[in-house]
A and B are shown apart, each in its own frame.
Chain A
Amino acid sequence: MLANYAFIGIFFIAALIFPLIPLIAAWRLRPARPTATKLDTYECGLEVIGETRVQFRVQYYLYALAFVIFDVEMVFLYPWAVAYNQLGLYGLLAMTVFIVILVFGLAYEWKKGALEWV
């Protein structure tokens, strides 16, 4: 059975080699006549103003933080999901408490406006 994980590894190597073939072939085949204008950054034909790596909206971070919480919740739900029928009513109630706490967190976040895109 463990050999199946090795198959993934072997296919990963195949997938690693695969994009190299067209890239190398295209590199050999295509013309290369670069000029200063061609090599410039394309921003709709205007001259580039300022840095690219500037500050961006804080909302992205809020979503990322909320994501981490709920993704961890999901990770906890998965092992429960394969066995919840054997755990019976007790398992169901325990998981309900867990989910309710997190749903409360989501509702709080929603109320606080962390999920608003302003």
Chain B
Amino acid sequence: MTWLDIVILIVKCIVLTLAATTMFAYFTLFERRLLARLQNRVGPNRAGAIPLPGGQRILGGWLQPAADAVKLFFKEDVVPVMADKWVYIMAPGFAVIPALIIWVAIPLGYWPDGAGGNLLQLAEIDVAILYLLAVTSVGVYGIAIAGWASNNKYSMLGGIRATAQVISYELALGLAVLGVVMQAQSFRTDTIVDAQTTLWYIVPQFLGFVIFLVASTAEVVRAPFDLVEAEQELVGGYNTEYGSMKFALFFMSEYIKLIAMNAIAVTLFLGGWKVPGLQTLADAVTASFGANIGNAVFGLTSLGAFLLKVTVLSFVSVWVRATLPRVRYDQLMDLGWKVLLPLALINVALTAIVNVILPDNIWISGIVLFVLGLATLIGATILSRPKYTSSQVTMVKNNARS
């Protein structure tokens, strides 16, 4: 390894960190604008607006994340006297680090260079899937430690709730990912992306995809599973006592983790950076402008396709937040243990049986699995509908009579 390699590596690390932070900043703006639209409001539309000659103002709101950051920098920060001071200060770090290091194992694109090419992935490790699962579940330590160190009853309850919730949904999440591993027969994320050239795994692993989406929303403690910071009952949950930049770091870890979860979902189920016709486009550009520009077009298009898919899933996340009310804690636990975990086990069993029994044709087994998964999902929806017992109904009737 030469000095140049080390410099390149450090630059890559810095770029990846800054990219994650920028994505976080603009995701908050995206979410605020979109939530506002979904609730028939306007949302932040002032900061940084550019006035045009005609009196119109365009691009309003694009500086809002910067304004928020500046505000948080200048906020007074108090460490409560009751808090465990050093643990209290370290907790935001514990939350941010796992959220950032998830990104090393996700292939963001592919840049061909004639000989092999460069995967836009910092570390091409063989056990990437295990690494991703491990790091996503380590993220809860930040929340648990923050809840404990604040020495505040609301924080404490938030921390305990978070721990129980994350471990419960981790099972369903891990088993949903297992389906993909069985399809691709590999732990490498780049191999999994390559295996989706003909058919994205959302078709054979449709059930797994739905389980993954629900479980990842719960894993990053986001609405409708945000009982950890349910304002009405817990004030702010684990971050009640946090302010200023420490709060910003928690906020950041939560959002970076959400985007990372969406990126993992894209990698595992939506074909990663692959997009139909990419090679044809690159070949056409190569034919007219030369190999270097062709490779650059391939690289940038794959990166763009990946980011576009992540944006689509992020849109779904915001949409879900705007649509669904928060669940109760018993409902949350029931969903994790009594619905998602059995469903994920069924998915693993279906995948194994279909792939062993049926011939090695990607389309036949894919469509059979899709139909079976859809049927299971519909069956589970019918079975897990809330039942109103007859005793409840008669009670209402009796009251009405008397």
Q: Which of B10-18, B217-225, B266-274, B306-314 contacts A (4 or more CB under 8 A)?
A: B10-18
Q: For chain A, residues 3 to 44, give those with C-beta under 8 angstroms from any C-beta of chain B.
A: 3-5, 7-8, 10-12, 14-16, 18-20, 22-23, 25-27, 29-34, 38-44
Q: Is the CB of B93 within 8 A of A41?
A: no
Q: Measured between C-beta atoms, what is the minimum distance from B372 to chain A in Å?
A: 16
Per-residue contact bits, chain B 115-134, to A (CB 8 Å; 1 contact, 0 not)? 00000001111100111000
Partner of B80, one of A39, A74, A96: A39
Task: Tell me, yes or no, whether B42 is within 8 Å of chain A by CB.
Answer: no
For B342, what are the chain A residues with a Cβ–Cβ distance below 8 Å?
103, 106
Q: Which of B32-40, B44-52, B182-190 contacts A (4 or more CB under 8 A)?
A: B182-190
For B131, what are the chain A residues with a Cβ–Cβ distance below 8 Å?
8
Q: Is the CB of B171 within 8 A of A71?
A: yes
Task: Tell me, yes or no, whether A64 is within 8 Å of chain B by CB.
Answer: yes
Q: Is the CB of B356 within 8 A of A85?
A: yes
With contacts A11-B104, A110-B338, A115-B337 known, is A26 near B245, CB below 8 A? yes
Q: For chain B, residues 140 to 185, give those with C-beta under 8 angstroms from any C-beta of chain A.
A: 148, 150-154, 156-157, 160, 163-164, 167-168, 170-171, 174-175, 178, 181-182, 185
Q: Measured between C-beta atoms, what is the minimum distance from B67 to chain A in Å?
A: 15
For A12, what are the chain B residues with a Cβ–Cβ distance below 8 Å?
97, 101
Count, A-B residue pairs, CB within 8 A: 198
Residue of A7, A12, A18, A33 with highest tally of chain B CB at under 10 A: A18
For A88, what are the chain B residues with a Cβ–Cβ distance below 8 Å?
356
For A77, what are the chain B residues with a Cβ–Cβ distance below 8 Å?
175, 178, 348
Residue of B89, B157, B349 with highest tally of chain A CB at under 10 A: B349
Separation of A89 and B353 alpha carbons in the complex (Å) = 9
Task: Tell me whether chain B's interface is mostly helix, strand or loop, or mixed.
Answer: helix
Residue of B1, B96, B100, B153 with highest tally of chain A CB at under 10 A: B153
Q: Is the CB of B249 within 8 A of A31?
A: no
Known interface pairs A14-B16, A74-B174; 12 further A-B residue pairs with C-beta atoms within 8 A, sorted by A's residue number: A8-B104, A11-B123, A14-B13, A16-B93, A29-B74, A32-B76, A38-B78, A74-B175, A82-B181, A85-B185, A96-B349, A115-B337
Q: List 18 A-B contacts (CB under 8 A).
A: A8-B122, A11-B13, A11-B16, A14-B10, A18-B96, A19-B96, A20-B93, A30-B77, A32-B76, A42-B152, A56-B160, A60-B163, A63-B164, A63-B333, A67-B171, A74-B175, A99-B345, A99-B349
